[in-house]
Amino acid sequence: MKTTEQGRRAEAAVAKYLIGRGFKILAQNWRRPRCEVDIITIKKSIIYFVEVKYRGSGAQGDGFEYVTPKKQNQVEFAARVWAQENKWSGDYRLMAAAVGGDDCARIDLIELS
């Protein structure tokens, strides 16, 4: 399976996971020149910008290892762009989702900020 296709499957699995926990998905694969966010979701008046990292096996390391400070800065920039475009002045947070396994069965979430 191509990397892009597996990444989309992982993002879909995370979206389903979030919906099952009371989140509402606002956008997936939101893109603008110079920035992108895998999933934008809301729960209890807080917007979450979610970076999804898929790893097929533990041999590749944990997905969270790939959420580097540079990637966090990119997601933060994208969050500010989204907030400005949508005139959002409320609370927002950054999250990362590590997805593992061929069937995307392992999903772990952490809040980055």
Rounded to an integer, what distance in angstroms lies between the CA atom of residue 50 and that of residue 54?
Answer: 13
3-107: which CATH architecture? Answer: 3-Layer(aba) Sandwich (3.40)
Residue 35 main-chain phi, psi, to 5 deg:
-160, 155
Q: Is 38 exposed, middle or buried (0-12, 13-18, 19+ CB in 10 A)?
A: buried
Report the alpha-carbon distance of residue 47 to residue 62 in Å, rounded. 25
- Per-residue pLDDT tens for 41-65? 999 999 999 999 887 766 566 667 7
* Residues 3-49 pLDDT 10s: 778 788 999 999 999 999 999 999 999 999 999 999 999 999 999 99
Backbone angles phi, psi at 73, to 5 degrees: -65, -40
- φ and ψ at 19, to 5 degrees? -60, -40
Which sequence spans correspond to the domains of the chain?
3-107
